[in-house]
Amino acid sequence: MDSPEPGPPSAAAAPARRARWIGSVIAVLALVALGWLAWHLTHRPPERAGGNYPAGAPAGGPRGPGGPGGGPRGAPPSTVGVATAHQADIPVILEALGTVTPVATVTVQPQVSGILTQVLFKEGQLVKKGDVLATIDPRPFQMALDQARGARLRDEAQLEAAKVTLERYRTLLSQDSVARQDFDTQAALVKQLEGTVTIDRANEATAQLNLGYTRIVAPVPGRVGLRPVDGGNYVTPGITNGIALITQIMPIDVEFALPQDRVPDIQSRQAQGADLQVTAYDRSRTKRLAAGSFSTLDNTIDLQTGTVKAKAHFANAEGLLFPNQFVNARLLLRTIAGAVVVPVTALRHGPNGDFVYVVNADHTVSLRNVTRGEATVDNVIVASGLELGEEVVTEGGDRLKDGARVQLAADRPARGASGAASGAASGGRGGRHRASDAASAASR
């Protein structure tokens, strides 16, 4: 069976093709418009801020002598802070972290065994040398002393009797009335009794000493620590922690480490007989604790750190230095008088060494290589390259190059006045531009 032949296209298909064709044209036109707008925005010349530029001049004008730091010609100069090189006395100070160490630390031990009858000190008490800290029951030692004294008296009496007999024998021997052997025997007995008396006297002194040891006294002045033992306990020589721990805090020392490069300077100053002053500050370096004097250097240098230990002596009258406390020690090595100094912020470092920016009379800056010396927290000595009275840049130097124009912060006009003036100028320039544009349109 034959299939039916296809008929002519329907009337509804033609408007559909026309609509697709129109949509494609509109899409192409939209893409062209977007491309032109993008090109126009990216290739539009920048606005020229003020003045009529000659034809063909690049936007923004030529660069100033300072390059990027100096800004375009006609642009305002960089605002900087300045300071004047002046003379000052600069102290050479060595700073180091130190540890407070007591002059003496003594663990008080009993010298004899016995019952601890009294503890006479309070924890944390300041004691003097010779103050009684505790007592041990003295009665056994008093009895031993009495016994030794009695033995001495007995033997001394025997010695005296033997000496009298010896003198009688000597008289009889001269008269040939006694045998020589009897005289020699009596002489030997006297020597024997003399030895016995010597031993008795030593025993008596030992008993007297032991009796004195029942009073435990402070061997050094200082501060007593916590009490390690209470009364009523039986104590012996060498007990753990002893009777008390005394640390001498007035005076007191501070140990700190100094760089080995500074050892010759310190030794030279000591050889000159200088009294080097040392000041101790707290860990935050804000509170001054005490002032003292440099004592000595250690005899070796630490190979691992390249430093040498030093010690300073402090009277510590106010008691602000505490044993094992961490402090910051500042050693005044010497004072450089009449040096040319500038603020630390004025000194910069470049490939050729240290330099400063010197402000010239025409408000331009010159890069000047200098040689730095000793420095403090605020100022640094310029050993060479800068004259007294010259002005140097202290703030804003990161934006400068040699020859750049600058404006001093003190000469900067008030913000409101400068804004009003710039607004009026821009308004005038805008009016002139709008009049020029209108004249061009009329001629066309």
Question: Which residues of the chain carry a pLDDT beneath 70?
Answer: 1-16, 43-75, 410-444
Q: What is the pLDDT of residues 306-359, one digit of tens each?
A: 999 999 999 999 999 999 999 999 999 998 888 999 999 999 998 889 999 999
H or E element, residue 435: helix 415-443
Structural domains of the chain in order of their starting residue, each with its CATH number: 78-85+347-407 (2.40.420.20), 94-102+250-335 (2.40.30.170), 104-137+214-247 (2.40.50.100), 141-208 (1.10.287.470)
Q: CA–CA distance from 140 to each of 71, 84, 148, 210 (Å)?
A: 100, 84, 13, 10
**Phi, psi (rounded to 5 degrees) for 374:** -65, 155
Identify the pLDDT of residue 45.
53
Which residues on neighbouring strands pair with residue 86, listed in sequence order?
341
Identify the pLDDT of residue 417.
41
Identify the pLDDT of residue 178.
85
Identify the pLDDT of residue 407.
85
The angle formed by the CA atoms of residues 12, 14 and 16, to the nearest 5 degrees, is 80
> Inter-axis angle of helices 180-213 and 139-174, to 10 degrees?
160
Q: Which residue has the tokens 């061997």?
A: 219
Q: Sort strands 406-408 and 78-84 into parallel, antiparallel or unpaired.
A: parallel
CA-wise closest residue to 80 among 395, 352, 413: 395
Q: Which residue has the tokens 């000496």?
A: 163
Identify the pLDDT of residue 101.
95
Identify the DSSP state of 315: -
Both tokens assigned to 255: 């140990």
Q: What is the DSSP string of 202-237?
A: HHHHHHHHHHHHTEEE-SS-EEE------TT-EE-T
**Phi, psi (rounded to 5 degrees) for 342:** -135, 160
- List, in order, residues 6 or more apart from 135 with CB less than 8 Å away: 116, 117, 118, 120, 214, 215, 216
**Phi, psi (rounded to 5 degrees) for 275:** -95, 100
Is this prediction's pTM over 0.75?
A: no
Length, in residues, of the chain: 444
**Helix, strand, coil: what percent of the chain each, to 5?**
35, 35, 30
Reading across the β-sheet that carries 114-119, which strands appear in turn?
Answer: 215-217, 132-136, 114-119, 234-235
286-312 burial: b if 16+ Cβ within 10 Å, else e: eeebbebebeebeeebeeeeebbbbbb
Identify the pLDDT of residue 412.
53
Identify the pLDDT of residue 15.
63
